[in-house]
Amino acid sequence: MSNKVKNNRVLDLMIQVIGVLVNLEIIYILFNLTQYSSFSSNIFLIVNGVGLLILVLIDLAIIFAIRMKSKKMDIVILVVFVFFVFFSSVTVYLVNKVNQGVDNIIVDNVQTETVYGVFITYKSTTIKDVKDIDGKTFGVISSEEFLEGNPLAKAELDKNNITVKYKEYENYNDLYLGLLAGEIDAAAMPDDFYDLFIVNEGYEEYLDETSIIYNYQAKVEVTNESDTNFDVTKNPFTVLIMGNDGRLSDTLIVATFNPYSFKATLTSIARDSYVPIDCYTNNASDKITHARVISRQCTINTVQNLLDIKIDFFAEVNFNGVVEIVDAMGGLLIDSPITFVGQSSDSERGHFTVWVPEGKNYLNGEQTLAFARERKLMPGGDFQRQLNQQQVISQLINQMLSTKDINILLSVLDAASSNIKTNMSLEQMMSLFNYSLSSMKNNYVDSEKIIDIQGSRITGYGSTNYNEAMELPLWIYRLYKGAIEDNRNFIINNLKYDYEPEIPADIQFSINWWTQRPVVYLEEYDEEKIHDVIPDIMPNMLSTNDGTWTLERATSWANSRNITLKVNRIEVGSPLYSDSYVHNQIVSQSEKYGRKTSKITNLTIGVIKKVLDCSNYDNRVYDECQDIVEDFVWNTTLDDLGEIRTWASQNNVTLQYTWITSDDSIYDASKAGKVYAQDPMAYTKIPADRVIRLQVFDYPFVELPKVDWTEAQIDEFARKLVNSLEQITYIRKYDGTKNEGTVLKVEPVYHERYAESKKFRTVDKLTLTLSTKVEPTLTIPNFVGTTVVDLQSWLDINGLKPSITKVEEVSEVNDGKIISISPSISNTSTYTKSTFPTSLTITVGKKADSVPATP
């Protein structure tokens, strides 16, 4: 055989192998795409026709190449085929990827799922391993529907050859309470039991003391009730939308869709709704969110029973799914009533890092999730959250229906594949999608406006259950019966299509009118509200939900209940201490939250003690900064300690002084009158004896003026005084022998402390008698009408010795009294001593009989 023939055979063989490969790939692609044909039969027929044409052409080319003995032809065909292989392989990859995504979303009627379970103990020192359970009492759930709580746990014990005494409980909560109460030694739980219980206030401290001693996983078959023959284009249907956070259904929305009217309803059920749980023994009531922990079907059945409706399909989304799907869509147009910073999708609670602006904005995945989850910051709380979730769903549907970009749809499918589960079949979804698009296509109105989505929610009221076993109050949400009935009717009405129609009333319309939709539900119903009687219980003093608990508040609370309060001070260095706490904040309590106060006689609390700066008036509210000594040193502006004395008087404090005089070495004249030191120190407690000792700089001593000091010396002295005008009293005394202003006499007033030592301070007072050369004018009384004795007495007092001539004059009236004096002296006279007359003639009255004859 020649090389040429040999080469041709090799080429032929290669063409045949590749040809078979291309044939198989084309058939594979077309058969796999057929499941999406309900999306549009015509398009898929065309695709199949094109595929058929390609296949025929390829096979004819192969036959032609084999029959021809042309090496060039073989090579050309081979190159073309290689291209086809590449192209079809990429297509196969994409088809497989889409199929895989769809398969991930759609669950089969019977599906194998992996279940994770644990065995737990509470504060056990003896049980450290699963083998330690042998012979002990082991808690399980009575119903076998609780897989991790009963059949799987029992199987694991059998597998480990462990024999236990079983004690059965109705639900996981009761089982856990039994464990805490010591009724059992260990309990069977789902692996995420922590998430199940942590939502209840007060559980955290118990969970911290709970230990996992055994982990296991098991494959189980989960039955999903669904009817794949259900024609969603001819029958209205219900979908239970479950937004899951771990194993809890955080969001529950019953959606309905009527393919005739294109009306959809979204009815939200609050996650804390206290309703009979289908899979609990005797349908015991619990928060509806807990039903999902048991199983998806348990939640579905519970909702069915609550509303007395049939749930046709479910759609289950986890929180991360929202983020990825919205991001895949390039954002979602959301109208937020407020601006807030919400929680991220991070599994750790309390990560508030996602900013959501007020108003209509395109939000990314994280923002949309934060918007759908936010409850506390929303006006209206959980109710507004339910409306927000409905808005997210409506927008998702509308944007999906208006999306024409196949890349976006594939991205959404990719994101949904790992985050969404539904029992609606691919054919049902495709036919519904196709039906919707076809129906909308011819409508005058934009596609997204065709589906009339109306929201509602089952209203109720907050209430509290008191759990005697655990001694804990549990917040629940009781639904109004009227709200359940109204929402049921709302749902049923949208599911009706084959009913007795009514002739419509004549329609009237104006563009100035606004159509008011019928009211679906009421915020409140006139029903008797059920509230359990909650006993007076120990509050959670560590919580700030109801304001910060401080020592003062706790004291008041304890006193009003005759509970003896013991306080442990938590200072820097203690594990309980944190700078974020305020002074006096309570950080530990000996009695657990929820315990009846009737059982409490003593309470020990840990109270943050910070080193308070009592100079800060904000801290004066605390006991530590009350009844304290003020700072009297230096910076006080005391006027002879007047303010200190006032303070001492007001605070019932005795002041003791040590005076630092200018004789002391430490004396500082500039600090005169101010406190140098104090005992106790400033901002410390006033001592028990309420005595405060002060060292005070006294005013400096100064040399007193001396007799004969001149006026200049006096001026110099006066400048040393603190306030000479107030301190010095001047007296002028005539002394013709001395210079004007010469000191004649000094009369100091010593402070009592220096009376003995006769030390004069710059603040003390004194009287100075100074000489004057100006003879003072005599102050002369009016002597007329007085006696000569009076006159002589005044003259003696003033040192005057004039010669006096006495003349008597008959006078009946002025007998013995001076009638006149010559020269005249009276109060108008301006005589001085030296100018006073040297002789005086005094006329004195005398009765007639006694008047002697004039000589």
Partner 1 sequence: MKFRVTKTILFEIIMVIGILAILFNMGSIVLGQSNFDGKQNSGLEFNGVYAIPQNPTELQKTLYKALSDELELSPDDRINEADLVVQNFIADYYTWTNKAGSYDVGGLAFVVNHSYLLLMDASRISFYKDLDAFSLKYGKDQLIEVESIETNAMYSANFKFLENEYPAYYIEAEWTYVDREVFPEDKFQRRAAFTVINYDGVLQIAQFYVW
Pick the closest to residue 309 from 117, 580, 496 (CA basis): 496
Task: Indicate the residue among 264 and 612 with the shorter CB distance to partner 1.
Answer: 264
Stretch that binds partner 1, among 25-33, 144-152, 293-301, 575-583 (CB under 8 A): 25-33
- Please report how close the Cβ of residue 422 comes to partner 1 at its closest, in angstroms: 18
Residue identified by tokens 């529950």 is: 252
3-state SS assignment for residue 695: strand
Task: Indicate the residue among 509 and 617 with the shorter CB distance to partner 1.
Answer: 509
Which DSSP helix (H) or strand (E) runs through 112? strand 110-122
Peptide bond into 473 cis (omega under 30): no
Q: What is the number of other CB atoms lying within 10 angstroms of the CB of residue 522? A: 12
Pick the closest to residue 178 from 136, 220, 133, 140 (CA basis): 140
- Please report how close the Cβ of residue 2 comes to partner 1 at its closest, in angstroms: 16
- Please report how close the Cβ of residue 217 comes to partner 1 at its closest, in angstroms: 40
Stretch that binds partner 1, among 30-38, 83-91, 580-588, 762-770 (CB under 8 A): 30-38
Q: What is the number of other CB atoms lying within 10 angstroms of the CB of residue 94? A: 12
Stretch that binds partner 1, among 62-70, 115-123, 641-649, 797-805 (CB under 8 A): 62-70
Pick the closest to residue 778 from 740, 840, 824, 829 (CA basis): 829
Q: What is the number of other CB atoms lying within 10 angstroms of the CB of residue 548? A: 15
Stretch that binds partner 1, among 214-222, 257-265, 702-710, 765-773 (CB under 8 A): 257-265
Range 349-378, binding partner 1 (CB under 8 A): none
| 44, 581, 667, 754: residue in contact with partner 1 (rule CB under 8 A) | 44
Using CB atoms within 10 Å of the CB of residue 642, give its burial: 0 to 12 exposed, 13 to 18 middle, 19+ buried: exposed
Is residue 49 a contact residue for partner 1 (CB under 8 A)? Answer: yes
Reading the block at residue 698, the tokens are 């006294």
| 41, 96, 228, 656: residue in contact with partner 1 (rule CB under 8 A) | 41
Q: How far is CA 691 from CA 245, 626, 655, 694, in A?
A: 66, 16, 6, 10
Task: Indicate the residue among 37 and 343 with the shorter CB distance to partner 1.
Answer: 37
Range 170-209, binding partner 1 (CB under 8 A): none
Task: Indicate the residue among 282 and 442 with the shorter CB distance to partner 1.
Answer: 442
Range 474-513, binding partner 1 (CB under 8 A): 496-513
Stretch that binds partner 1, among 32-40, 81-89, 725-733, 814-822 (CB under 8 A): 32-40
The answer to whether 376 touches 370, Cβ cutoff 8 Å, is no
Task: Indicate the residue among 510 and 637 with the shorter CB distance to partner 1.
Answer: 510
Cα distance between the two ends of the chain: 209
- Please report how close the Cβ of residue 519 comes to partner 1 at its closest, in angstroms: 12
- Please report how close the Cβ of residue 226 comes to partner 1 at its closest, in angstroms: 18
The answer to whether 814 touches 845, Cβ cutoff 8 Å, is yes
Range 579-598, binding partner 1 (CB under 8 A): none
Stretch that binds partner 1, among 63-71, 162-170, 277-285, 569-577 (CB under 8 A): 63-71
Is residue 518 a contact residue for partner 1 (CB under 8 A)? Answer: yes
- Please report how close the Cβ of residue 402 comes to partner 1 at its closest, in angstroms: 16
Sign of CA dihedral 554, 557, 559, 564: negative
Q: What are phi and psi of 835, to 5 degrees?
A: -95, 0
- Please report how close the Cβ of residue 518 comes to partner 1 at its closest, in angstroms: 7
The answer to whether 572 touches 634, Cβ cutoff 8 Å, is no
- Please report how close the Cβ of residue 324 comes to partner 1 at its closest, in angstroms: 29
Task: Indicate the residue among 507 and 611 with the shorter CB distance to partner 1.
Answer: 507
Distance (Å, rounded) from C-alpha 681 to C-alpha 633? 10
Task: Indicate the residue among 262 and 383 with the shorter CB distance to partner 1.
Answer: 262
Stretch that binds partner 1, among 44-52, 197-205, 293-301, 706-714 (CB under 8 A): 44-52
Range 295-334, binding partner 1 (CB under 8 A): none
Interface with partner 1: number of residues (CB under 8 A):
74
- Please report how close the Cβ of residue 53 comes to partner 1 at its closest, in angstroms: 10
- Please report how close the Cβ of residue 516 comes to partner 1 at its closest, in angstroms: 9
Is residue 519 a contact residue for partner 1 (CB under 8 A)? Answer: no
Taken as a whole, the chain contains a residue count of 855
| 5, 17, 60, 731: residue in contact with partner 1 (rule CB under 8 A) | 60
Is residue 31 a contact residue for partner 1 (CB under 8 A)? Answer: yes
Distance (Å, rounded) from C-alpha 134 to C-alpha 161? 9
Distance (Å, rounded) from C-alpha 306 to C-alpha 203? 28
Is residue 688 a contact residue for partner 1 (CB under 8 A)? Answer: no
DSSP state of 36: G
Distance (Å, rounded) from C-alpha 443 to C-alpha 439? 7
The answer to whether 152 touches 220, Cβ cutoff 8 Å, is yes
- Please report how close the Cβ of residue 521 comes to partner 1 at its closest, in angstroms: 16
Cα three-residue angle 717-720-724, rounded to 5 degrees: 80
Beta-bridged to residue 285, according to DSSP, are 276
- Please report how close the Cβ of residue 495 comes to partner 1 at its closest, in angstroms: 12
- Please report how close the Cβ of residue 319 comes to partner 1 at its closest, in angstroms: 33
Task: Indicate the residue among 19 and 342 with the shorter CB distance to partner 1.
Answer: 19
- Please report how close the Cβ of residue 89 comes to partner 1 at its closest, in angstroms: 17
| 2, 67, 533, 813: residue in contact with partner 1 (rule CB under 8 A) | 67
Using CB atoms within 10 Å of the CB of residue 450, give its burial: 0 to 12 exposed, 13 to 18 middle, 19+ buried: middle
Using CB atoms within 10 Å of the CB of residue 596, give its burial: 0 to 12 exposed, 13 to 18 middle, 19+ buried: middle
Which DSSP helix (H) or strand (E) runs through 316? strand 313-318
Beta-bridged to residue 266, according to DSSP, are 255, 455
Sign of CA dihedral 657, 662, 664, 667: positive
- Please report how close the Cβ of residue 517 comes to partner 1 at its closest, in angstroms: 7
Is residue 20 a contact residue for partner 1 (CB under 8 A)? Answer: yes
Distance (Å, rounded) from C-alpha 651 to C-alpha 534? 47
Task: Indicate the residue among 44 and 581 with the shorter CB distance to partner 1.
Answer: 44
| 219, 404, 517, 719: residue in contact with partner 1 (rule CB under 8 A) | 517
Pick the closest to residue 81 from 33, 29, 7, 24 (CA basis): 24
Range 413-472, binding partner 1 (CB under 8 A): 430-431, 434-435, 438-439, 441-445, 449-450, 452
Beta-bridged to residue 113, according to DSSP, are 220
Stretch that binds partner 1, among 16-24, 473-481, 543-551, 779-787 (CB under 8 A): 16-24
Is residue 45 a contact residue for partner 1 (CB under 8 A)? Answer: yes
Q: Using CB under 8 A as the criterion, what x/- string covers residues 218-237 for binding partner 1? A: -------------x-xx---
- Please report how close the Cβ of residue 55 comes to partner 1 at its closest, in angstroms: 5
Task: Indicate the residue among 134 and 227 with the shorter CB distance to partner 1.
Answer: 227
Stretch that binds partner 1, among 57-65, 334-342, 568-576, 786-794 (CB under 8 A): 57-65
- Please report how close the Cβ of residue 138 comes to partner 1 at its closest, in angstroms: 54
Task: Indicate the residue among 20 and 755 with the shorter CB distance to partner 1.
Answer: 20
| 117, 151, 259, 321: residue in contact with partner 1 (rule CB under 8 A) | 259
Distance (Å, rounded) from C-alpha 97 to C-alpha 121? 45
Q: Packing angle between helix 319-329 and helix 406-417, nearest 10 degrees? A: 170
Spell out where 36-89 has E strands.
Answer: none
Task: Indicate the residue among 208 and 500 with the shorter CB distance to partner 1.
Answer: 500
Q: In what order do the strands lie in the sheet with 210-223?
A: 165-169, 137-141, 186-190, 110-122, 210-223
Continuous H helices in 521-569: 551-559
Reading the block at residue 142, the tokens are 């009575």
Stretch that binds partner 1, among 253-261, 562-570, 677-685, 789-797 (CB under 8 A): 253-261
